[in-house]
Structures are given as C-alpha cells and as structure tokens.
Structure 1
Amino acid sequence: MSTPQDATPLTTHIGAELPYLRRYGRALTGSQKSGDAYAAATLEAILEDTSAFEGNIAPKTALFRVFHSIWDSSGSRIEDASDGLEAKAQAHLSRLTKNTREALLLRSLEDFPPAEVATIMQIDLSEVEHLLSVAEQELSDAIQGRVLIIEDEAIIAMDLEALVKSMGHEVVGLAPTRTDAVEMGKKERPDLILADIHLADKSSGIDAVNDLLGHFGEIPVIFITAYPERLLTGERPEPAFLISKPYVEDQVRSAVGQAMFFSSTETLKA
C-alpha cells in the first residue's frame, strides 16, 4: 500500500516513525509494556483502515493521530494499573487537566508544531495553546522529588542541574562516571535518575543505572542519547523515557515531569 502524498510505501513511512511513536507511548504511560501495547494497537488499526493517511496530512502526524484515537477510546488508561507505580501514576493523572500531558509531550518531546498537535488530538488550535500554557505548571506542581544526574560533560551537567532545580526538584548529585553514580546514588537514594549513556572514562550510564536499580528496585530513569532509535528496537529491555541529543529545555522539563509520575518513593510530595 502507498501513501497519497508520494510513491513511498506506507509501511516505509510507518517503519521510519515507529521508534518515536513507541517513545511517545512509553513517556505517556511510563511503561515499556503499556506504551508498546498502544503502539501495537495502532498498527493493527492501520492494517484494518488506512484512511487516516489520505489527503494532505503528513505520515507521522497521521500515525500519531491513529494512536491518539485509540488512547482516547481507552479512556487514557495505563494497563495493569491495579497496584505499584502505574496505579500511583494513574491517581496523579486523574488530578491534572485533561489532555495537558499529551499536548506537552507532542509539542516538546516529539517536536510537533501546535497546529499538528491539534490535528493529532483532533481539537482546536486554541485549545492546544491553552493546554500547553497550563501543562508545565501543573506537572511541576504535582510532584517534587530528588534527582541524580549522571553526565560527564560539566557544562551540560550544570545546565541540567539548574533546569531540574527550576522545576522544584532537589539534585542529590552530579556523577561523571559509573563509579561516582553508584556511590552517590546509594548514599542519597534518588526518586529519578537522569543519565547520559557514554561517560568520560568510557564507562556506561546504562551500567550505572542497572547497578542502582539492582540495589534499590524501581526508580524511573530518563536516558539522554543522540540515537534514541537504537534503544527502541524491541530486542531487549528498553527505557521508558528518552531524550534526544542535542536536547532543548522543554524536552527535559516534559520528560522529567512525566517520569516523576512513576516514582514510588515516599519522599515525593504529591
């Protein structure tokens, strides 16, 4: 099957954008399982009906619009939310203005212009602008916690520290290596880990995170990488939250706000 926009097969368009749809689904739900379930349902719906890709709509916008139709029809529910992190997140989400997180993620994390956000969510542009104006404040007010930053570039680490603090969170440490990260993390248990992947001493931020998760159990993590699609292959356990390098401030704010919903530590103020 082909798109009306050009001669490129629809499957090629979808394949190119699928990693980013999966990233969005995970950020929205806080879970690899739930996010991928919504992405899979989106693909099934497209196989049954490709009409969403007709007309002048861009393939990526059409793909995300089908996702949103399914998300809305499900009641924006997180699967298996009877207990644990998902249940805690669902309780927090119920207190937010409807659709604020969706609009913020589409605009900041996925970089859709407001007009395309309106197309995806099937709402008026004026409503998108209103949702964006309240989303960041609601998220920062909803939960505040303790953040460990694993980043070997000093300027970037300080920039992230200032940004996280401006959202009302406490930074418990700036770790440039795996060894430093594990030491700081065990000393000052964080509610959220913000981690680069490649560190200065050639150690791995992924290894540092795995060490801390092995010690503490569940802690939400945001990974920073120049190649997010390489961590969204479906071939191994994958992170729920990814920020692409080079990042912009709104991406970090959005991802931190979403990830904090999925922390189970008692130090969170909700």
Structure 2
Amino acid sequence: MIATDLRSGVEQLGDMIAEASVIVPFTGAGISTESGIPDFRSPGGLWSRNQPIPYDAFVARQDARDEAWRRRFAMQPTFGAARPSRGHRALAALYRAGKIPAVLTQNIDNLHQASGFAEQDVIELHGNTTYARCIGCGRRHELEWVKACWERTHHAPVCTVCDEPVKTATISFGQPMPEEAMQRAAELAQNCDLLLAIGSSLVVWPAAGFPLLAKQSGAKLVIINNEPTDQDQTADLVIRYDIGEILGPFVGN
C-alpha cells in the first residue's frame, strides 16, 4: 500500500510501530542527506562525480590507493560537520524505548552511533569511513595518523605492523562482505515483526536482501524512500515523502 499523503503515511506508520514488539530499521544513504552527506546514485550524488574505486584496483595499484585517500580527505569537512538527522534521532528514541534491538545500515558515516545507538547495536553492512584498517592484518588505524602520513609523503600509507595497504574501514565493490555483520543482520531480519527500510534504493546486494528476508519470515515491511524501489510491491506500506518529515514526529517518543 502506498500512502496517499504525508499525514496518512505517518499515522499508518505510527500504528504499525505501536503494534510491533521488535522493530529492525534498515537504513541507506537517504537518512543522512538531511545531515549534509550526499547520497551516491542521484543526480549530484557522489558517484556522478567520481566512479567508485573497486577493491582489486585499490589492492593492485598505488595510484588507486592514493586517489581513494585523496577523495576521503576531500570529504572530511562534510563528514566532520555531519550531525544526526531527525530520522537518526527518531530511531534512537525507539531504541531507547526498547522497540529496536539494533539497526542494520548500509551507511558508513557513524551517525547512528552519534545519535545514541551503542556501537555493538549498529550492524554496519558496508563498513565505516571514520577510521581505517590494514587489509592484511586488520589492525585499526585512526584517520589522524593516516592523514599525517599522507601529508608527509603524498601517498597512501602502509600498515606499521605488516606493511600491507591501509584503507578506510568500508566495504568496496569486490571486497568480501563482513561475515559476522551479515550473519547478525540475517538473524535480526528473521526475528523482527516490523522492518523499516529507510532511505535505501534497495538495489545493492546482498544487503538489499534483508528486507525481503524479514517479509518472508513473517514481518511487516515498510519502505520509506523518496523514489520507488523494486521492493515496493512487496511492502505493507510505502511512504514516498521526506524522511525527516515522516520520522520527525517520533523523535520525542
């Protein structure tokens, strides 16, 4: 069912939230645009300006690694200034109320943690861009160290332990998905009674399979997104209005 207007959509969503015992949000880039972080696919999005660098290219070529870090530091003012949106804050309110055990997110911006979710309850399917990891030994490196190395040499650094390349702790195209996060996401999707897919185009797989898994496991599915998705026909409710306007009324709950 597609909501006919914003008010009726919010009212129907409110009823479904009230009835649900276990709610699992699945969030994409759309929930962070109000925070000032551009999305990827829309006109003017990040990928309209720079095509993503595949994982195999990052591993194989120094120039690809250098370009990846150049882009990351060019985005630092944007990421550094971002604060949780009304959507983030609404989900955090439901989390504090005990309705939400954890959030599944395709986002890499750390804003769910900043809104009040405990780190262990943010299931990051595509990683996190606010720190870095060695692709060899997995050692964590802070961005301040990476930037200092970058400014000194103008090259992407290597790990201080094993000399393998260091990249943001994000999942690039062609990079294996995080097994533990994927397993936990599947368990949450199978054991909720309401899944809220918020701000996701639902085209990036395998992550986009979790809303369908929840629906197949007996949960109700709500899709909140400005644009149509391929899963709209499966959803119990589709609301195509601004995410902040839809979720804003739940911030204080």
Band the TM-score falls in, shorter-chain normalisation: 0.3 to 0.5
TM normalised by structure 1 equals: 0.31
So what's the TM-score if we normalise by structure 2?
0.33
Highest RCO, 1 vs 2 (Cα 8 Å, sep ≥ 6): 2
